[in-house]
A and B are shown apart, each in its own frame.
Chain A
Amino acid sequence: MTGISVSFGGVTALSDVSLTVEPGQVHGLIGPNGAGKTTLFNVACGLVRPTQGRIVWRGEELRRLKPKQLTRLGISRTLQGVGLFRGLTVLENVMVGAHRHAKAGFFSALFAVPTADRDEARLRARALAALDELDATAYAGRYPDSLPYPVQKRVALARALVVEPELLLLDEPASGLSEDEMHDLGDLIRALSGRMSVLLVEHHMDLVMRVCDRITVLDSGEQIAAGTPAEVQADPAVTEAYLGDEVEVGAGADGREG
């Protein structure tokens, strides 16, 4: 994505941000609250249309990107929180994720022809494989609300993985997790990076520093730093953005939102 700008009415949420996720790499996106991380994410999956800038994916520009097209493009994303379907079992949740792999149509479902059953069996196998990868097979028949929060997050991740994406967008995957669980998550993301590119929005610095190949730092809608974890950590602008209020009171004069 190059030169992305977004404004809502008169408020500029993002101005001229560029970011490239290299194949097979984990790219971190960090910044203080209100920096525009989620907005950039929403641009990437078509929920928010940029006022300016281009999104290029696999060498082609995506114009008028709509969220429903994402999985077909090989892009999959998780939501902040969990965003599971509450009235569906864990297995069904993941099977919905596999929507783009479904072949049987409305009429084969209406008349319950055997092809519909076979199609369902294939989706089920895919979903179970994804659940297995995240050690959640035991919960297949349960409904999300009866499960602990970390398990729900794992299910949500399985639902994103079953798409078999080339680019995985993770929106705060570690929120609400314990230290151990976060560590496991880090290992998992590293393992995934061999198969797909990952764009990660996260607040937990240690996780970001450990798993990311490259990091982009946003502050008040502007890109203030980019590079490897070590480079970013050494960048004074980053320290200032995070501890800004203490460093210099006058720095807040550019009208940054809280």
Chain B
Amino acid sequence: MSQPQDTTATSSGEMSSESPTESTAAANAPSAGASTGRSLLPSNTLLRHLLVLLLCAVVAVVLLESTDQFTNSQLAQLSYYAIAAGGLTVLTGLNGQISLGHGALMAVGAYTTALFLEAEEPLPLPVVLLVAVLLTTLVGALVGVAAARLHGPYLAGATLALAVGLPGLALYFREWLGGEQGLRVRAPRAPEAFDGFIGFVSGNPASNTKWLAYLGAICLLITFFLLANLARSRVGRTWRAVRDQEVAAELAGIDLGAWRVLAFVVSAACAGLGGAVLALVVRLAAPSGFTLVLSLALLTAIVIGGLGSLFGALLGSALLVFLPPFVTDLGADLGLNNTEAAQLAPFVYGVVLVVVMIFAPAGVVGSVRLRWRTWRARRAASAAGRA
């Protein structure tokens, strides 16, 4: 009934540095209450995360103001990928559930936003975003209840059905959801205060592109702040316990199903917000934008970055956004024609994925964390040897 345990570590007291939890190593930072190391940051979770939030906000402003219009729009793209990927990495990395349906959940957020902004007198933007999140959360809860009973390939299959089926609704309800063409999204104009803020910070023109980039950045920061809170709390720890050892978790009084649904709901909420931001940035909600490719892109992003790590999700999303244009430019420089250069990007992305999986199966963040852990264990062992 208990899973077969590592039989190599016997009573002889040998150490095994090889970790079987390698694939989710990036997720396994101890929760705040259980941290044993010293840190420069305050131990109070709220203060600590607010401080990091402030730093990240400053970095975001500097980044957005020191780059051109085109890069601004790329950063806006990055923000919606990262919001959704952040939610997915919590589901997959911390709780061990896979979802191929997050692209479809993003569609729910995007269409909700589009519909609500279509009105003559649209609601204020934050309210629209909140509604988009809530509606997606509801859909996520329904899927999550089903998902909590499924494992591995079965769960992948069920969420795959969601990814394939849900965008089809747009074709079915053609009148209402715009069919193949999708819905155009009227992004609201920037408030006066935004012009003032940009003028004060950098004197750059406060274009609409810039406003949307800022909007994306704000949503991203808030999402990651909340997700980081969860990950470092008892909630994150309980999710990881459910992921690692079901029977033991259940015997500790944990309701496996409820905690799985909770993870799915949280992750769906993020996908909803990501979809809403996508709709604003792209100014279009159409079925072609939410194919299975989007779900798979999110999944590869979090795998490359390191499952379970928010920073990893950000890295992976950045790769999604910046790698293709980079490779295309490179191809053009090497004398390929436009079509050939454009075809190079998916190829290089695939190669990057394969290389990462071979040399760093825990993803970028996970590999760094594993190194660090091995190094610390070795140091502790040598210190014990000397004593």
Residues of A within 8 A of B (CB): 38, 42, 45, 47, 67-72, 76-77, 79-89, 91-92, 95-97, 99-100, 102, 104, 106, 109-114, 116-117, 119-121, 123-124, 127, 140-143, 145-150, 152, 159, 163, 176-178, 181
Contacts and interface: CB of A to CB of B under 8 A. Distances in A.
Contacts, number: 189
A85 B234 contact: no
Contacts of A150: 11, 13
A117 B34 CA distance: 11
Nearest to B250: A67
B1 A72 contact: no
Contact of A91 (B15, B30, B233, B244): B30
B39 interface: no
A181 B20 CA distance: 27
Contact of A83 (B5, B14, B235, B255): B5
B33 A121 contact: yes
B27 A91 contact: no
A148 B9 contact: yes
17 contacts: A71-B252, A81-B5, A83-B245, A86-B19, A88-B244, A91-B30, A97-B252, A99-B252, A110-B229, A111-B229, A112-B45, A120-B31, A120-B33, A141-B30, A141-B36, A142-B377, A142-B380
Contact of A176 (B11, B16, B21, B233): B11
A146 B250 CA distance: 24
Contact of A80 (B1, B11, B253): B1
Q: Which among B33, B230, B249, B254 has the highest number of chain A CB atoms within 10 Å? A: B33
A223 B159 CA distance: 49
A54 B247 CA distance: 23
B225 to A, nearest CB: 9
Nearest to A175: B11
A121 to B, nearest CB: 6
Nearest to A181: B11
Q: Which among B34, B36, B44, B377 has the highest number of chain A CB atoms within 10 Å? A: B34
Contacts of A113: 46
Interface string B209-242: 0000000000000000010011001110110110
B1 A99 contact: no
Contacts of B17: 146
Given A85-B241, A109-B230, A117 B248 contact: no
Contacts of B244: 85-88
Interface of B: 1-6, 9-21, 24-25, 27-28, 30-34, 36-37, 44-46, 49, 226, 229-230, 233-235, 237-238, 240-241, 243-245, 247-256, 262, 373, 377, 380
B254 A120 contact: no
A12 B248 CA distance: 26
Given A95-B31, A120-B234, 5 more contacts: A68-B256, A88-B30, A96-B241, A106-B235, A117-B45
Given A42-B1, A112-B233, A145 B377 contact: no
B9 A120 contact: no
A144 to B, nearest CB: 9
B249 A85 contact: yes
A117 to B, nearest CB: 5
Nearest to A86: B21
Contacts of A91: 30, 34, 36
A185 to B, nearest CB: 12
Nearest to B50: A112
Q: Which among B5, B10, B44, B49 has the highest number of chain A CB atoms within 10 Å? A: B5
Q: Which 5 A-B pairs have the closest CB atoms?
A: A120-B33, A141-B36, A71-B253, A109-B233, A148-B13
Q: Which among B14, B229, B244, B253 has the highest number of chain A CB atoms within 10 Å? A: B253
A128 B292 CA distance: 47
Contacts of B249: 85, 96
A37 to B, nearest CB: 12
Contacts of A114: 44, 46
B19 A70 contact: no
A79 B36 contact: no
A175 B14 CA distance: 17
Nearest to B44: A117
